[in-house]
Amino acid sequence: MLKFLNAQQVERYHRDGYLFPLRAMARDEAAKYRAALEAHEARMGGPLSGLGGPARFKNHLLLRWVHELVVHPTVLDAVEDVIGPDILCYTSTFFIKEPHSPQITAWHQDATYFGLRPHEHVTAWIALTDSAPQSGCLEFARGGGDLGILRHKANAIEHSVNGGRQKIVEGFEVIDPAFAPLRPGEFSLHHTLCLHRSAPNDGSERRIGLGVSYVPTRVRHIGSKRMPAMLVRGDDRYGHFDLEPAPAGDFDDAAQAAHAHAYARYRENYNEQLAWHEAGTMPAE
């Protein structure tokens, strides 16, 4: 039985590789999370968009309010409707474009360097501000998930909001991409093989979103080292990942240790997946 989506929405997600807009919370609730983010940025000494690296990564291990977003029941209900009831959060990342910022993402697929098999990973992109074409909202290629993983090149573009600065370099053509505008408190879903990009923020306001990567517990990781993930709904009957703790307090010792371990392991995996991808030696699935 579906919990949040209807049958037509589920069919659209599996056909197109994306679905939007979906509402998780009211605008005023989203505004509270934005205020919490900006208070956190003030403590950190600057916007996360400038700090980069671990400052944008897996804050749900460090901050209880980010954990609240990752386990938001409406978001999880929608995710459950497309991947099933046993759900891990593999990672989360803040994607922030400052006003009049040149930051972009080139056409890419999330699956390229994650090393997750089978390809059932879904990203929920939760908007804390307006995300519109003028501010560089997500754009999706229609039906791109049928292509498999295309050849990417890392460190290939300037001003990328993605740390890997990757872009697709294998021949492909996107005709009439679907812009995915979102209002504060809304979210989109996209499949790990869905081609997507975003343009610069030409507007006068920040564009703030949290991208949360969810996988069913049956998904495994093909890298040489075990990866951590957080069980956010249901049961883990497979044990493919080391389960991460929710933060008991903001930036407490256990939370900082879990975050440091997760970031170090994530970078190791990323570098391994990148080397395999560029050498054409990806292990058999």
> For residue 121, what pLDDT is reported?
96
- Weakly modelled stretches of the chain, pLDDT under 50: none
> For residue 163, what pLDDT is reported?
66
> For residue 277, what pLDDT is reported?
84
> For residue 47, what pLDDT is reported?
95
Report the amino acid identity of residue 234: G
> For residue 162, what pLDDT is reported?
65
**How many angstroms separate the CA atoms of 154 and 241, rounded?**
26
Question: Taking the chain, what is the end-to-end CA distance rounded to the nearest angstrom?
Answer: 31
> For residue 284, what pLDDT is reported?
63
Class of domain 7-279: mainly beta
Strands (E), 17-130: 18-23, 87-97, 105-108, 116-117, 122-127
Closest to 91 (Cα-Cα) out of 232, 234, 218, 202: 232
**Which DSSP string corresponds to 96-129?**
EE-TTB--BEEEE-GGGGT-EESS--EEEEEESS
Is the separation of the CB atoms in 110 and 92 below 8 Å? no
> For residue 11, what pLDDT is reported?
96
Number of helices (H) and strands (E), helices first, in the chain? Answer: 6, 15
Give the start-to-end residue ranges of the domains of the chain: 7-279
Interstrand relation of 152-153 and 87-97 (parallel, antiparallel or unpaired): unpaired
Question: CB within 8 A of 44, min separation 6: which ones?
Answer: 51, 55
> For residue 160, what pLDDT is reported?
61
